[in-house]
Amino acid sequence: MQKSFHSQLKIPLICWPLFVLGCASEPVPVPKSEPIISGETMLRESQGIASLGDRWKSGKQMVDSGTNMVSEGEAKIAEGNRLIAEGNKIIRESEDNYKNIKK
């Protein structure tokens, strides 16, 4: 009799912490079903996305065009600076030759 009484007491003592832990845990969230999207909504959203794509393409073309213009401008500036340097050299040489002739 003693054995069965002790084993009957042990079962509730073991189960009690498990019961408390089970009640203390957070409940499992119930997944919410996503609302059904209508065809009109899908069409409207896809047109908005297409509009963004067109705008991006336009911006990209502007960047490419501007980059080409800057490159061409830098090349013209370099050519202009070269012409100025060469012209100043010719002016100095001409002035030096004039001074030599006058002597």
Q: What single-letter amino acid sits at 1?
A: M
pLDDT for 20: 62
Q: How far apart are CA 70 and CA 76, in angstroms?
A: 10
Considering the domain boundaries, does residue 2 fall inside one?
A: no
Tens digit of each residue's pLDDT (9 = 90 or more) over 55-103: 999 999 999 999 999 999 999 999 999 999 999 999 999 999 998 888 7
Structure tokens given for 71: 């490159």
CA 43 to mean position of chain CA atoms = 26
Q: Which domain covers residue 101, as residue numbers?
A: 70-103
Considering the domain boundaries, does residue 88 fall inside one?
A: yes
pLDDT for 69: 98
pLDDT at residue 50 above 70?
A: yes
Number of domains in the chain: 1
Q: Which residues of 85-95 are buried (b: 16+ CB within 10 A; e: fewer)?
A: eeeeeeeeeee
Considering the domain boundaries, does residue 91 fall inside one?
A: yes
Q: How far apart are CA 99 and CA 103, in angstroms?
A: 6
